[in-house]
Structure 1
């Protein structure tokens, strides 16, 4: 087939294809009680049909989908490893110990603010929002329920902290990806984010402090006492259980690869289950695969601790695989390039530039189903507008990071949305309204851009536009 017969999709075609996908996604999850995996599966064929109409060969489209999956398989491995970690850390009494001491120490009035701070420090030190949510996040969820704080609000505080620390850590994959795709040095990228991020962090902390005051007088201390007594009966509570947590966090902070480090953590969990809890060796090992099971008589405690294992993550793995393939198809067909073209016509100032970049990054999560897809495509799509209008590329990397990283956990079928919902035990649509840092940070970014604050102008450039302008042509010619 002659590559010149290939076309980019028109705007009506994009709206129709994506409208069908969104209708499937919302109807399956909200109305029909069908799994989102089926919606993504059907969505593949919607985009394939569009690609065939535009002149692509089926084999090229299939290769684009499989390449999209291959690019994100690292996330699948980490997801399975975290499942094993959670199961073995529960069996080993590690998670129960953290919850136990947290209930003893943290006062309800400062719980939400403390949750955000603890999770942000964990993510900042380790460079991973997933690792922070799978360790400190799970513990804070248990403490919150013990204190009577609704789980969606606690999850919002957890994710506010996790994503704040993740996007300011030089160890973070998202930081490295956003800066490298924007042609910006990592530390320049972090410095560009820091003023807005700190302002947003302080505002969010104040809001969570006020919310926490509402629950300070509603704590049923009898329930807290019942929970701690139940944990004492079910597990051996000892400060030694903090040792595996310290080991894992230190190794992650040393920039060791996440997959083997988290897997090592699960091995330590098995050892702790056998040596500290007196669990049968086969039962301890099986906790890495199947959800751990206890019957404490306290429903909240059972709901928090009867979980974990790789098997509990298999549904999430399917979503991520289908989502990554869907994102690969969208990139191949050129859907996001068409959408970006609409934004470009309306971009004439720093404010509209920020809005368009954040919107593009969010759409990358919605339709690409993965944060990595968003952070790869957004700089490629939006870079020429920054050069054309005369703004430093670190503005691009900052806006791409805020729009891509901070919204990734809000999309139920994205890799982050699926992971966070699974690991925290709260539906995405339930916790999303309480991801206050994300909303505050995006609002401050847009407001400051329109006001001309924290904006770095430069001379307009034309020589850097050529690469971005070739992107749609390369997409077509590679078909």
Structure 2
């Protein structure tokens, strides 16, 4: 006989959350199993609680499917982004971006240049992982030749990489956040500019000042020169190699749909590889699926550019599916609702609702181990409060990125933390103090919330929640 369904109590919610911590720590940190398996095992912990409180297997299967369905757009974006990275490397787009970035480097401004180059690369590709695995690797090698601490270089690389991950219309997390928050993609990006612009400027200044302090202005440029020479040896480098990137960004700025636009960019990459890089047509097209492969004889260049393709995204896609399943299960059996109900009574103004969203995002990274989980927890746990307070959902989507996306590389067992540490060769705890853009993005997000700056309201009732409006109403009642 089926039990009557009920919401989980605090003990049961605590059991699920604690189990998350234990599973993530044991799987990732202790026995080295993939985070995908940790998320998969977490399904069974949540289902165990679901059975206890009256949910059937069918109910929970529907929750899993609903959660995955909510993120299918992000999965498709990832597929097209994988194709795009493969063809853009083959077509000389990414090599040209790296090459022109390297031309501005000198030892004194290297840290700022690394930050700026990774910013441009992440905005052009929409992926922090792809940026760290291409331009980021180059920056680590060059920084090593300058004698700069590797943790500091990694901080500059990751800070720049997450500008695009947070802001680019090509980014899967950007698209997913806008989708889950029910906000137009371009409106979401415009909202984030209020946070990202000052955070980027301050971070750039900090890296410039640090460069003047740490780096000898006459440092060795041989690694940068060798990289540029190798790129020129194996690719045609020219301004028109950047045309596909410019066209894709323009189309997205004109509010064209993300998936066909990125797919069109991938097609252009194949065309550029055939027309300008001398690749056979079938090989140029195949690079969209299997990625780019080169045997240049220069190990550094091979490591830098042998990547991309739809195949390269399969592990991340599996991770997303399991993470979305976790979010769907937590929503289906009421875990998110219990947490949401606790926050509803407390978060009664813009500052508190902003803080709750940031905490819910970090909660998703800490317990779910992935940016995709953090986006779900941040948006779904707190969205009702925004509607209740009459706060525009553009603020919700911006705050979700501020608590979710940028905190991902701060958690050692998250997908971002594991990837960055592995690719860049620097432990998470070592580079953590230098994630200046990420910390500033969180800080400015909270500052806006508690000062009511750039907080938009949807109606007069919501506007009455502004501190100034409340003060005016109080004065009117007492006069």
TM-score, normalised to structure 1, is 0.77
- Quick one: distance in 2 between partners of 1:14 and 1:282? 53
- Quick one: distance in 2 between partners of 1:294 and 1:186? 36
The answer (yes or no) to whether the contact 1:323–1:414 under 8 Å persists in 2 is no
Deviation at 1:306, TM superposition (A): 1.1
Q: In the alignment, what sits opposite 1:438? A: 438
The answer (yes or no) to whether the contact 1:120–1:161 under 8 Å persists in 2 is yes
Q: Which runs of 5+ in 2 are unaligned?
A: 145-149, 457-461, 467-479
Q: Equivalent residues in 2 for 1:399-418 (5 A)?
A: 399-407=399-407, 410=410, 417=416
The answer (yes or no) to whether the contact 1:392–1:458 under 8 Å persists in 2 is no
- Quick one: distance in 2 between partners of 1:248 and 1:364? 31
Q: Which moved more, 1:20-29 or 1:374-383?
A: 374-383
Q: In the alignment, what sits opposite 1:286? A: 286
Q: Equivalent residues in 2 for 1:69-148 (5 A)?
A: 69-114=68-113, 131=126, 133=128, 140-141=135-136, 144-145=139-140, 147-148=142-143
Question: CA 1:408–1:381 in structure 2 vs 1: closer, same or farther (change >3 Å)?
Answer: farther
Deviation at 1:145, TM superposition (A): 3.6
Question: CA 1:60–1:426 in structure 2 vs 1: closer, same or farther (change >3 Å)?
Answer: farther
- Quick one: distance in 2 between partners of 1:198 and 1:73? 30
Q: In the alignment, what sits opposite 1:473? A: none
Q: In the alignment, what sits opposite 2:314? A: 314
The answer (yes or no) to whether the contact 2:36–2:322 under 8 Å persists in 1 is yes
- Quick one: distance in 1 between partners of 2:420 and 2:79? 15
Q: In the alignment, what sits opposite 1:476? A: none
Q: In the alignment, what sits opposite 1:471? A: none
- Quick one: distance in 2 between partners of 1:85 and 1:189? 21
Question: CA 1:215–1:52 in structure 2 vs 1: closer, same or farther (change >3 Å)?
Answer: farther
Q: Deviations over 1:68-125 (max 9, x none)?
A: 11111111111111111111222222222222222123334445445655776788xx
Q: Deviations over 1:398-454 (max 9, x none)?
A: 544522443356567878x49985998789947665442231232344456667877
- Quick one: distance in 1 between partners of 2:215 and 2:256? 39
Q: Which moved more, 1:129-138 or 1:68-77?
A: 129-138
- Quick one: distance in 1 between partners of 2:419 and 2:427? 8
Q: In the alignment, what sits opposite 1:210? A: 209
Secondary structure in structure 2 of the residue aligned to 1:270 = helix
- Quick one: distance in 2 between partners of 1:275 and 1:47? 53
Q: Which moved more, 1:376-385 or 1:273-282?
A: 376-385
Q: Which moved more, 1:136-145 or 1:64-73?
A: 136-145
The answer (yes or no) to whether the contact 1:330–1:336 under 8 Å persists in 2 is yes
- Quick one: distance in 2 between partners of 1:32 and 1:328? 27
For 1:373, which of 372, 376, 379 is the aligned residue?
Answer: 376
- Quick one: distance in 1 between partners of 2:279 and 2:185? 49
Deviation at 1:61, TM superposition (A): 0.7
Q: In the alignment, what sits opposite 2:36? A: 37
Secondary structure in structure 1 of the residue aligned to 2:288 = coil
Q: Deviations over 1:161-191 (max 9, x none)?
A: 3256459x9xx6467558757xx99979967
The answer (yes or no) to whether the contact 1:365–1:374 under 8 Å persists in 2 is no
Question: CA 1:133–1:246 in structure 2 vs 1: closer, same or farther (change >3 Å)?
Answer: farther
Secondary structure in structure 2 of the residue aligned to 1:289 = helix
The answer (yes or no) to whether the contact 2:86–2:288 under 8 Å persists in 1 is yes
Secondary structure in structure 2 of the residue aligned to 1:288 = helix
Q: In the alignment, what sits opposite 1:304? A: 304
Secondary structure in structure 2 of the residue aligned to 1:46 = helix
Number of residues of Structure 1 aligned to a counterpart in Structure 2: 446
Deviation at 1:17, TM superposition (A): 1.5
Question: CA 1:203–1:361 in structure 2 vs 1: closer, same or farther (change >3 Å)?
Answer: same
Question: CA 1:175–1:116 in structure 2 vs 1: closer, same or farther (change >3 Å)?
Answer: farther
Q: Which runs of 5+ in 1 are unaligned?
A: 462-479
Q: Which moved more, 1:402-411 or 1:247-256?
A: 402-411
Question: CA 1:148–1:327 in structure 2 vs 1: closer, same or farther (change >3 Å)?
Answer: same
Question: CA 1:180–1:39 in structure 2 vs 1: closer, same or farther (change >3 Å)?
Answer: closer
Q: Which moved more, 1:63-72 or 1:330-339?
A: 330-339
Q: Deviations over 1:268-310 (max 9, x none)?
A: 2222222222222332222222232223343332211011111
- Quick one: distance in 2 between partners of 1:422 and 1:79? 22
Deviation at 1:208, TM superposition (A): 2.3
Q: In the alignment, what sits opposite 1:272? A: 272
- Quick one: distance in 1 between partners of 2:348 and 2:175? 31
Deviation at 1:314, TM superposition (A): 0.8
CA RMSD of aligned residues (A): 4.1
- Quick one: distance in 1 between partners of 2:278 and 2:121? 30
Q: Which moved more, 1:37-46 or 1:364-373?
A: 364-373
TM-score, normalised to structure 2, is 0.77
Q: Which moved more, 1:421-430 or 1:34-43?
A: 421-430
